[in-house]
Amino acid sequence: MPYSWRVSYCIEYLNYSTMIPKLVTFDCAETMVRVPDNWSIGTFAVDCARHIGLKPSQEDGLLYLSMYRAKLPEFVEVNRSRDAGQQQMFWSRLALEWLKATGQPIGTLGALQLAADELGFGPDSILFKLYDDVVPCLNRLDSMGIKAAVVSNWDYSLHRVLKMFGIYERFVVVKASLEEGIEKPDPRLFEMTIAEAGFASWETVHVGDDRVDDFEGAEAAGLKALLIDRSLIGPVRPFIHSLADLPEAFDWID
Ligand SMILES: [Mg+2]
């Protein structure tokens, strides 16, 4: 075989052996957005109350958590409604009941909600931090003509968190499990996302940090999948240790 033929054969082989996706779906928590290890909605309620000068105890935080859990069926419905008024009302009622139950002044309700907005979704959020590699990764995918979407086990606030970091418009679809009533690893959440984005499963790679929810869930839906583990020193298939490992890690996929 002439040398030039061998070269063109190799180039052709490389093209076909590497899967360049048309769509990359991302998990959110611990893939793009860092959430504190010991985070709970009860400790956040205590943080907000202390921020406005109240003195709730850790037990008060546990009470908030149990009150929230008791309302989970209602919270699921509120998410499904996609109604901002219902969502706001849910948190107002819960906060008011908590203030009453813990003997804290109910006149602080408005200030408490403002504190939750600021500490949760403000520029100095104590809950969420965007990993530094997210925007460069989205830029690289964009330069390659690859679309991005989000598939996350999250409530309706997923949209707000992504807007807070200025990246919401970078995604063709943002899918929050609680709005759909379906959680990963259920493959239907992936299927809904890629159908809405207008791509097929075989054109899509999912990136997430959870072996069951992200890797097994995505593969069950027919997607290719990569796992991210930021504690690793370097990429070890199928783990990338940073979103900077994309798109090179697409070479692993065939
Ligand atoms: Mg995650």
What digits encode the pLDDT tens for the residues 193-246? 999 999 999 999 999 999 999 999 999 999 999 999 999 887 888 999 999 999
Measured in Å, residue 45 CA sits from the centre of ligand 1 at: 23
pLDDT band at 18 (very low <50, low <70, confident <90, very high): low
Closest CA to 254 of 6, 27, 26, 14: 14
Express each pLDDT in 122-164 by its tens digit: 999 999 999 999 999 999 999 999 999 999 999 999 999 999 9
Give the β-pairing of 147-152 and 23-26: parallel
Q: How far is CA 115 from CA 51, 65, 165, 221, in A?
A: 7, 18, 19, 40
CA of 42 to the centre of ligand 1 (A): 21
CA dihedral defined by 175, 24, 200, 159, rounded to 10 degrees? 10
**Does 21 sit behind a cis peptide bond, omega within 30 degrees of 0 on the bond before it?**
no
- CA of 187 from ligand 1 middle (Å) equals 16
User: pTM (2 decimals)?
Assistant: 0.89
CB 71 within 8 A of CB 95: no
Q: How far is the CA of 210 from the centre of ligand 1 (A)?
A: 6
Q: From ligand 1's centre to the CA of 108, what distance in Å?
A: 34
State yes or no: pLDDT of 55 exceeds 50. yes
User: Per residue in 73-101, is it b (16+ CB within 10 Å) or e — as a string?
Assistant: eebeebbeeeeeeebeebeeebbebbbee
CB 245 within 8 A of CB 139: no
Distance 51 CA to ligand 1 centre (A): 28
Task: State the distance from the centre of ligand 1 to the C-alpha of 19, rounded, in angstroms.
Answer: 24
Query: What is the average pLDDT value for the chain, to the nearest integer?
Result: 92
Selection from 237, 234, 197 nearest residue 26 by Cα: 197
Q: What is the 228 CA–ligand 1 centroid distance (Å)?
A: 9
Ligand 1 centroid vs 254 CA: distance in angstroms? 24
Task: Tell me the CA–centroid distance for residue 161 and ligand 1, in Å.
Answer: 14
Instruction: Compute, in angstroms, the gap from residue 188 CA to the centroid of ligand 1.
Output: 17
